[in-house]
Structure 1
């Protein structure tokens, strides 16, 4: 059975580092045997169809291929349409009332619990807020991610130790869910 997935590559094409042209990434994915490959934006979002493997093995395969082809390592998360849809539907913030720059989803490679982020006192960052979901952290930043003190606190390496995390704004969250559902 063929499943639609989104691959989220972490930290590519940011500030001139780890350059990955999207056309080359599409060709690389097709060379791995995946179908209906599309990229979204320049920030490492690839939607594709596959009838083999699971999210973890597909992510490992793509990470290995990127390292071999481009010469650097990159973290990769792969999520299927059902998961992306569930993340969107479970959003604890009123997405229809917010601008996309105010709402973000940080996807994690595995489950996270509240204890991991216990050192980040939620009241200290109001009106910024976060909520945890299934392998995702929803982040509300009224002034945008770039100015967010909460986002900075949540991204501390010791809080993310042993887990891969990559963040997308809400426009991208919505678009990837739509593209994988097509």
Structure 2
């Protein structure tokens, strides 16, 4: 069994795309997943599966959410080891954790789009783009950030979902406990 993390984009935000976590967990059990743990209400799920392809899992979960809840919600599934690597490699170790965000990318952006994005400067935000994550530092908080999830999706041409430092740390912890 492999431990994975599923990240759903835009659920239970401002009363939109409501999914009860207990119902989501039940749906995932019906898909044959095990060791399912949800974290907060914003679509963070740690689970185990025999499937070795995270893309297949993303598509399977997306389709089942559409069938069960009638919601077209983007789903990103990462192996626990991938999430841990992303978390451990963030470049802002000296910064306030409350200002650190992870914009997790569903696919690798083109080098040309990354180069174009890197030409811009933003007074209160810094970022580093990798193949699967934009490490984002928001000096005035994410709520006021120009460089938000939609900004990166538009500029990089890929689907993304954003998590703060605290959520990423907790997902790493839960996934390590699931593997133990």
Q: TM-score, normalising length from structure 2? A: 0.90
User: Could you say which residue in structure 1 is the equivalent of 2:112?
Assistant: 115
Cross-structure match for 1:28: 27
- What RMSD in Å do the two structures reach over aligned CA positions? 1.9
- Which residue number in structure 2 is paired with residue 60 of structure 1? 59
Gapped regions of structure 1 (runs ≥ 5): none
Distance 1:153 1:47 in 2: 25
Superposed displacement of residue 113, structure 1: 4.6
Q: 1:176 to 1:122 in 2, by over 3 A?
A: farther
Map of 2:164 onto structure 1: 169
- C-alpha spacing 1:20/1:73, structure 2 compared with 1 (3 Å): same
Question: Residue 123 of structure 1: CA displacement?
Answer: 6.0
Matched position secondary structure for 1:137: strand
> Superposed, which structure 2 residues align to 1:111-150 within 5 Å?
111-120=108-117, 124-150=121-147
Deviations 1:18-49 (A, max 9, x none): 11110000101111000010100100001101
Flag the 1:111–1:120 CA change in 2: closer, same or farther, 3 A: closer
Deviates more, 1:2-11 or 1:118-127: 118-127
Question: Hey, what's the Cα distance between the residues in 1 that align with 2:150 and 2:26?
Answer: 37
Match of 1:86 in 2: 85
Displacement of 1:119: 3.9
Report the Cα distance in structure 2 between the residues aligned to 1:118 and 1:152, rounded to whole angstroms: 18
| TM-score using structure 1 length | 0.89
Runs (5+) with no aligned partner, structure 2: none
Offset at residue 17 of structure 1 (A):
1.1
**Number of residue equivalences:** 177
Aligned-partner Cα distance in 2 for 1:25–1:149:
32
Q: Counterpart of 1:19 in 2: which secondary structure?
A: coil
Matched, 1:99 2:78: no
Aligned to 2:4: 5
